[in-house]
Structure 1
Amino acid sequence: MSDEVLLDQAEAETLAIRACRAAGAAPSTARALVDATLSAALFGPATLGFPHMVDYLDSFREGRINCDPTPTCERPFPAFFVADADRGIAQLGFDRAFNDLAEAARTFGVAIFTQTNSYTTGELGYYVRRLAGEGLAGIAATNANAMVVAKAGGPAVYSTNPMAFGFPLGEGSLPLIIDQASSATAYVNIVAAAAEGRAIPEGWAVDAAGIDTQDAAKALEGALLPFGGRKGANVALMVEMLSAGLSGGPWSLDTPSFREGSASPAVGLTVVAMMPGRADDGLIERARRQAGRLQEKGVFVPGVSGIDHPRLASERLKVPRSVFEAVTRIAGA
């Protein structure tokens, strides 16, 4: 039996909606989460998308996510949006403000959306991918509960604190999307390695005693390491200030786990939307040519390299069998 299940996109969407609704999510929450999940499944890393959806489904049922929130958004400055997700999913609050954010960026050249009081943001590339679809460049930053040490032997003080960057490359091209953690690897990669009994590379994590480990199970009891030592820790701090600092959300040290208990992580998210020049500047076409030139030199261009475009509506999604079975159980299928 294969370790993967192939699903038509329509089948995957229907199953995901059913699972969200069965877990208690309101229609608007289910729709926002499924849109983000399908985007991640098509364009993001394999560890996100449906594998991460299981965390959402568990959290709906265990109270970490408000299943029927009422997100609010204020505009204290003309191009600055401050949202409260009402303990719901981050995607819903972002979706509600998206059109106004994009319009403000077109008007002022730059606009900022910052949100607190949400569950973990999921695939961070989703937010800048949405902006790129509107011809806008974007930067996104978020935090979660502390699981990364600033240095080996120290206490966990940061989350993986990812940041994402997107730049549109014009009609007929996928956008450049950089989405990476401040830690040496993403937490979901440690979880996947532990579940499969695989060793992890040296330098990814430490055990509970603060000693470097290649045992994924011990890493889950310990903490992750920042990439590049102090430089990666500095990036994590910068992301912390952009997300929790600007939004007023909890610092990672004060954030509850997104996988245990009944408290909302209430994390912060900040998204900056930018116009890539005026319509007649040709900067998007210039960026497309540069991406092509880099690829000709063998450079991996994230968001573009290795991804077919355009994606066929008939393309089937690969879902790990264990994930498919978990989602199916919750959906009651």
Structure 2
Amino acid sequence: MTDAVTLSPQEARDLARTALMRVGMVETAATALAGATVDAEMAGKNAIGFTHLTDYLRSLVDGRIDGRAEPLITSPVPAIVKCDAMGGVAQHGFAIALEELVTKAKALGIAVFTVQNSYTTGELGWYAAQLAQEGLVAIAATNGPALLAGAGSRLPVYCTNPLAFAAPLADGRFLLVDQASSATAYVKIREAAARGEAIPAGWALDQEGEPTTDPFAAMKGALLAFGGTRGANVALMVEVLAAGLTGANWSLDAPDFQAGDASPGVGLFLLALAPQLLADGFSTRFAEQVERLSGVYGVHIPGLDRVERQRQAESAGIVLPRQLFDSISSFRRN
């Protein structure tokens, strides 16, 4: 038996969708989540691809996700689309609302999409990328259960609270910035623990609020923000957008996404802008600027290789560790 399994993107989507439906998720939700999972995997974001899918599967079995939830979509004013995930997943509501959101943004120049009462939102950049592929500029923010110490605190008060930004180029590629407010993503701590490896100094505190390089101690303590107070301030801004403006749980009030039977009930905030209504020839001008930055000044432009990575995965396939493939394939409803 080989240590890895290679799947085509469609086979990978089928694997994820089938596993999710076996543990009680409705097909529309399973299809949306499977698509987001495979997109993350194809983009090289393995930690929030199939590895994170096992969190969704366990949460469906344990009751932290309502697999049969039907998102409630409302539009109180033309430029705002609101989604109550009803204890389900944000990917489901976003997939339902995407066409309406894009139409509103292109007609009005700006549109906002919010989600409350959701499980963790997965790869945040996926939401922004979907809008960039429609020619829109997007800003996304999400929160989750408290993992990150705030400025001046040694206790976790925010989640990793990532912020994502995407902007389209004229050639179909797009800029995509997707980064946590923490010095590293929580999944990186968990991966280090699984490998029995130490983590770098400056990533986390232990339960006593002391700096630690022990990943197990870090998971019982608190993550640290990037850049100290500056990163913690970003986390606070994200908290206001993702929890405050959506009506979702503050990170301090969000149940654990890995234990218990209650949904974290967290939020997603997404702002979509139509650049063509703000500046003539934006995509062409931006493409020229990106070329100048990267070609002349050697600036790394994040996200430009995402489309190429996905194209490579279309031909080469998606490689999953055998143990992970077997784990996903084995999930069954109790």
- Calculate the TM-score normalised by the size of structure 2: 0.94
CA distance in 2: counterparts of 1:156 and 1:2, whole angstroms: 41
Match of 1:250 in 2: 249
Q: Distance in 2 between matches of 1:83 and 1:55?
A: 22
Paired residue secondary structure (1:314): helix
Corresponding position of 2:103: 103
Give the Cα separation in 2 of the matches to 1:135 and 1:321. 38
Please report how far the alpha carbon of residue 308 of structure 1 lies from its aligned counterpart in structure 2 after TM superposition. Answer: 2.4
Question: Displacement, 1:169?
Answer: 1.1
1:276 has 2:263 as partner = no
Q: Is the 8 A contact 1:86 1:118 kept in 2?
A: yes
Q: Are the structure 2 counterparts of residues 295 and 6 from structure 1 closer, same or farther at C-alpha, using a change threshold of 3 Å?
A: farther
Q: Is the 8 A contact 1:208 1:221 kept in 2?
A: yes
Contact (CA 8 Å) 2:141, 2:238: kept in 1 or not?
A: yes
Listed as ranges, the gaps of 5+ residues in structure 2 are none
Match of 2:204 in 1: 205
Distance 1:266 1:280, change over 3 A: closer
SS of residue matched to 1:277? helix
When structure 1 is superposed on structure 2, of 112-121 and 153-162 the one drifting more is 153-162
2:130 aligns to what?
130
Work out the CA distance in 1 between the residues paired with 2:150 and 2:4: 37
Q: 2:76 is paired with a residue of what secondary structure?
A: strand
How far apart are residue 3 of structure 1 and its match? 5.4
How far apart are residue 31 of structure 1 and its match? 0.4
**Secondary structure, aligned partner of 2:176:** strand
The aligned residue for residue 315 of structure 1 is: 316
Greater per-residue helix proportion: 2
Question: Residue 203 of structure 1 aligns to which amino acid in structure 2?
Answer: G
Match of 1:75 in 2: 75
Aligned residue type for 2:281: G
Structure 1 residues 130 and 307: CA distance shift in structure 2, 3 A: closer
In percent, how many aligned pairs have the same letter? 46
Matched to 1:320, the amino acid is P
Give CA-to-partner distance per residue, 1:204-256, whole Å, 9 cap, x none. 11111111111111111111001111111100000000010111111000000
Please give the secondary structure, in 1, of the residue aligned with 2:87: coil
Q: Would you identify which runs of 4 or more consecutive aligned residues in structure 1 move more than 6 Å?
A: none
Aligned to 2:287: 288
Larger mean Cα displacement after TM superposition, 277-286 or 294-303: 277-286
- The reply to whether residue 30 of structure 1 matches residue 25 of structure 2 is no
CA contact (8 A) 1:184 1:226 kept: yes
Instruction: Quote the Cα distance in structure 2 between the aligned partners of 1:100 and 1:264.
Output: 27
So what's the TM-score if we normalise by structure 1? 0.94
Structure 1: how far apart are the matches of 2:146 and 2:278? Answer: 43
Q: Report the aligned-residue RMSD.
A: 1.9
Q: Secondary structure at the match of 2:30?
A: helix
Q: 1:249 to 1:325 in 2, by over 3 A?
A: same
Q: Distance in 1 between matches of 2:162 and 2:320?
A: 24
